[in-house]
Chain A
Amino acid sequence: MRKLIISNLSHSFDEREVLKSLSFAFDGARLAVTGPNGSGKSTLLKIMAGLLLPICGEIVFEIDGVKIDRSYIKSFVGLAAPDIRLYNELTARENLKFLAAARGCKCDISAVLEEVGLLDRENDPVGDLSTGLQRRACLAAALLHDPTVLLLDEPSTNLDGKGRQMLHEVIEKRSETGIVVLATNDPDEAAMCDEWLDLGACA
């Protein structure tokens, strides 16, 4: 039993209203958030992750009848987004090691690196990796603490065929036990999901 309940959610940046009293209930494992650019997909994911505080309304995740406490939300959520980057000066492994230490959790870094297919480049500084490999490293950072809720913002951008294959496996695997929310405009990826939330239609 996995539930996501968005109730009366609004957010605006100064005068520009991005989300307008959005209400939505979702009962399943995979949710696709679609909509044109600027419709608030990334903002919605950031609010879900607890990075942004909405002006009003709330988002509740419920796993097996237990609500996730908003004050601990950051330990249950993994977010991979284009504007959340890793430290260029550190290698992929060092980045993950730092994030694990900052979170204070014992994580299997090698397993995560293998899952995203970065094990052979783990000792290169992230700044030297190609954009696609950097996206994989960011995905690894989101998966690191084995989050219950995985939020992916345009995850397949810059990924090659193999990368997409890896991404699909990750989504499959995580949605067995948790919730995966995808912000995407790719019809193939949206088709993988149980339900769609079209922000363009809401507005």
Chain B
Amino acid sequence: MKNIKRQSGFGNIVRSAWAVFAKDLICELRARNAISAIILFAVTSVIAVSFTSSVWGGDSDISSALLWLVIYFSAMSGLSRSFVHEDEASTSGTLKLAAQPNAVYLGKLAFNWAIMIAMELVAVPLFVLFMSCKIADWGMFTALLIIGGLALAVSATMAAAMVARAVVKGALFAVISFPLLIPVLASAVHGTSLAMSGQNAASDLRLLVYYSITIITTSLILFKFIWED
């Protein structure tokens, strides 16, 4: 019998996940299902936030909380698209036949992380400019945004896969993601505030890394139950 083990093995899963990621990226660049909505939402909310509350731009606690609220709501406005669109276009069957569940999960996770970073690239500089924030530790600030974006994407990817199976999708997505996002938001806001005022935020960054690893591991075990029929 030919190629019995061609789909199993860690290397193959990563290659297959890469294919899913590249496919999502190309489709996204051509159709712009998620990215333009998310970025526009982010820009709009940055403007809304800064013209109502730019007085507090100097306060690191308030501005880091506002920054993460903008990122959180922007993520909620579009991260579910990656899964919901597969169902709407009847392509999920194709994907289920061709790729292992874990490859699908990892590919979608990478794609959502990429979207988060693209959105942050636009929204965060605008936020810093409009709110005239003072950022003491740029390195830690950037690291928190990248890893915080990963932690958000990790939780949102699972929630999106669940919501894709439900009848009402839009409103449910934010509600379903919420439990997984409480620790992320708490640490990200706390850490970003410390990084802005120049204190050491390494413990919050570590917590975000550990949290992401925990949720990814759990998701790799659980994902097949929500993805397969």
Give A contacts to B, CB under 8 Å. Answer: 49, 51-53, 63, 66, 68-69, 72, 74-75, 77, 79, 81, 83-90, 94, 98-99, 101-105, 125, 141
Contacts and interface: CB of A to CB of B under 8 A. Distances in A.
Contacts of B26: 89-90, 94
B229 A101 contact: no
B94 A99 contact: yes
A53 to B, nearest CB: 6
Contact of B90 (A66, A75, A85): A85
B203 interface: no
Contact of A86 (B16, B94, B103, B229): B94
B89 A104 contact: no
Contacts of A90: 23, 26-27, 30
Contact of B20 (A51, A81, A102, A125): A102
Nearest to B96: A51
Contact of A51 (B3, B16, B22, B229): B229
Contacts of A53: 228-229
Contact of B3 (A49, A86, A105): A105
B182 interface: no
Given A81-B93, A85-B91, A103-B16, A72 B4 contact: yes
Interface string B8-31: 000010011011101100110011
A89 B91 CA distance: 11
A87 B91 CA distance: 6
Contacts of A84: 90-91, 93-94, 97
B7 interface: yes
Contacts of B89: 85, 87-88
Given A72-B4, A72-B7, A89-B27, A102 B19 contact: yes
20 contacts: A51-B96, A53-B228, A53-B229, A69-B4, A72-B7, A74-B97, A79-B93, A83-B90, A84-B91, A87-B94, A89-B26, A90-B23, A90-B30, A98-B19, A98-B98, A101-B15, A102-B95, A104-B7, A104-B15, A105-B6
